[in-house]
Structure 1
Amino acid sequence: MVNKAKEDIATAPHSFEAFFKKLIDYAGLFPPTQLPLEEAIHHYASYIHSCEAWMIGPFVCPASQLEKLEPYLELFSSEKPLAISALGRKAENERETIKLFKDDLASIEHFQLKHGTKVRVNQFELPLPSLNITAEFMNEVGKRSSRHHITCYCEFPIHKNDRFWEQKLAKTALLISQQNQSRFYSIGGKLRTGGIKASLIPDSNIVGSFIYHCKEHKVPVKFTAGLHHPVRLYRSEVQADMHGFVNVFVAGLMAYQHHLDKESITEILQEKDAKFFSFQNEKITWRHLEISTKEIMRLRKEYLHSYGSCSFETPRSEFKDLNMIERG
């Protein structure tokens, strides 16, 4: 037993590796990079064949544009397939949202059957029409997701001036949680954490509320937009503070590990000093809080999934420059 314990310690990944595993979904088609399809798909193919392929998740592509990928499928194989997170279309009401969702799922099924094991579409990102959704709507989303063996992330719309927004957010998280209790393929939540101008960046209280209520109801989450940099900082191009992906995911991890309230989560989101984050062999620490590599692996797999970024290089290079990794 002692030898087995030593072996487990020796083979356990560094906390950095547990944190970064499949962390970044590649969204090169979207702003601010907004590459042409040919360039973006060639980048993705090179990434999944690189030594850092373990850090990258699926290629984010609108479901309505899947057929445009066909000329580039020769870049992929059964061993290195084109993994896709399909992006749905936004509608004004529940009925139209379900109709578009149904059509997109049919397109996905056709695309997968046509190209076999070279492609894998396991994720769908569905913009919710509002946060006033009904149980019937969420049940329909759950049924269709399960039928197509796909994980659906429902994007929570943000209305900064709605004083009841957090109550609606909590209700939506509860409805998702109730669906997840009865289905094998889970539904997740998705939040936009930035954009190309300051007005598109939600404040820390909004992001903190999302993390807190999804944690309370054990709703898996992903994020998108704005998380190009590791730690929160002011950026002149948007003339505002931008959220850091280390802040966001460490806040989520610590929220689960230490049962944090919203205020404590928000405090981590607002941290601007990288020296207070430390990635050590067997744990990550932030100030007085810590979480083991084992728990990081579990929580990343179950609840804190990934974030979409239009760049795969920038987050990795900036993280390296901050020297937050401790070895030995």
Structure 2
Amino acid sequence: MKALNPLFLRLFDDAAIFPPGNVPMAEAVAAHRERQSSPLAPLLGPFVCSLARWDELVAAAAGGPPVPVSLVLPGPADLPEAAEVHLVAVEGPGLTPGGALPAYTEIPCAEITATRVAALRDAGSRLKIRTGGVRADAFPTEAQLARALWTAVRGGIAFKLTAGLHDPVRHRDPVTGFEHHGYLNVILATAQALQGYDIERALADQDGERVAAAVGGIDEVLAKAVRHHFVSFGTCSVSEPVDGLLHHGLLLPEDLS
């Protein structure tokens, strides 16, 4: 099997238990472990779980290898420990960076400024940006997300995104009418921000072939720089974004065999 494109390695954080997926904890943990031992493993980030469901997670993970987890906190909090769970990151609002774990501080997209990014960077924190949800107002506009990504990249900080990014390319959901950002658009916009280009057009582009071709043309050096900033995104479906890569030829069936 040839090496997978570094743009997609560990890109998909497994947020199956969150809306709109709402997969039962035991089922979600079992599915995550199954993916960890499958050809999907190189694409898979940690399992995402809230602190409020810690005990449920520990019970579901009993009897197997430790589950790598990014723990969502409501704010600064003491971290729990359990043999069944391997904490690899924390994320949430108002976090105080410290310790060995990467900490992703969530800031509303419209409130991300160069000053706040610099403060996070200097404190050793990373940035978490919400890109969707169960209401229309949870989805930032192209202009809002462009400003946030530009500020993060030019401010030299790593970030993760969460919600609304199941599909690779920007589109309007035919059921909800919500305008969803595409994770390939975000990759392309991050690359263009690193090169000093305006990025709003890249985020707004709904031509899947054009966006996929541009992402496929990112060379290894630029890909490494992109992923230094755009670390991952949380998705309640890992299969949907993987299917998107297959559809656009950025991942081949033999890569997963």
TM-score by length of 1: 0.71
- Name 2:135's counterpart in structure 1: 197
Aligned residues of 2:19 and 2:236 also touching (Cα < 8 A): yes
The alignment yields a C-alpha RMSD, in angstroms, of 2.4
Are 2:180 and 1:214 equivalent residues in the alignment? no
- Please point out which of 14, 33, 37 is paired with 2:21: 33
Residue in 1 aligned with 2:102? 151
Task: Write out per-residue CA displacement over residues 257-312 of structure 1, whole angstroms, 9 at most, x where no aligned residue.
Answer: x122xxx21110001101213469xx733xxxxx3123313431x22100000001
Residue 60 (structure 1) aligns with: 48
For each residue in 1:79-107, what CA deviation from the matched residue of structure 2 results, as whole angstroms up to 9, or x when unmatched? xx410000011xxxxxxx4xxx233x2x2
Q: Would you say 1:86 and 2:71 are equivalent positions? A: yes
Structure 1: stretches of 5+ with no match in the other structure: 1-10, 90-96, 129-137, 160-164, 181-186, 286-290
2:196 aligned with 1:259: yes
Whose Rg is larger? 1
Query: Equivalent residue for 2:208?
Result: 274
Question: Which deviations, in whole Å up to 9, do the C-alpha atoms of 1:205-253 show, x marking residues without a partner?
Answer: 1111111111111110000000010001111222132100110122112
Q: Distance in 1 between matches of 2:144 and 2:106?
A: 14
In the alignment, structure 2 segments of 5+ residues that lack a partner are 253-257
Whether the 8 Å CA contact 1:253–1:304 is kept in 2: the answer is no
How far the C-alpha of 1:75 sits from its partner, in A, is 5.5
SS, match of residue 102 in structure 1:
coil
Give yes or no for the alignment of 1:102 onto 2:55: no
Distance 1:13 1:123 in 2: 26
**In 2, Cα distance between equivalents of 1:73 and 1:303:** 31
- Give the letter aligned to residue 284 of structure 1: G
The count of aligned residue pairs is 253
* 1:117-196 alignment runs, 5 A limit: 118-128=84-94, 141-142=96-97, 145-146=98-99, 149-158=100-109, 165=111, 169-180=113-124, 187-196=125-134
The residue matched to 1:277 in structure 2 has which SS? helix
2:255 match: none
Q: Specify the alignment match of 1:48 in structure 2.
A: 36
Report the CA distance shift for 1:308/1:275 in structure 2 as closer, same or farther (over 3 A): same
Structure-1 separation of matches of 2:178 and 2:77: 39
CA distance in 1, matches of 2:59, 2:251: 41
2:55, 2:135 → 1: CA distance? 31
**Contact 1:45/1:75 (CA < 8 Å) preserved in 2?**
no
Aligned counterpart in structure 1 of residue 10 of structure 2, from 14, 22, 40: 22
- What are the Cα deviations for residues 116-163 of structure 1, in whole angstroms up to 9, with x where unaligned? xx53212101213xxxxxxxxx7xx13xx22xx11100001245xxxx
What is the Cα deviation at residue 12 of structure 1?
A: 8.4
- The structure in which a higher percent of residues are helix is 1
| Structure-2 residue corresponding to 1:310 | 236
Give 2:226's aligned amino acid: L
2:146 and 2:200 in contact (8 A); partners too: yes
1:299 counterpart residue number: 226
SS at match of 2:216: strand
Judged with a 3 Å threshold, the aligned counterparts in structure 2 of structure 1 residues 243 and 102 are, in CA distance, closer, same or farther, namely same
Identity %: 24
Instruction: With the length of structure 2 as denominator, give the TM-score of the two structures.
Output: 0.89
Q: Give a deviation string over 1:174-215, Cα, whole Å, max 9, x none.
A: 1112223xxxxxx11011101123222110111111111111
Separation in 2, partners of 1:306, 1:26: 10
Partner amino acid for 2:200?
T
Q: 1:299 to 1:322 in 2, by over 3 A?
A: closer
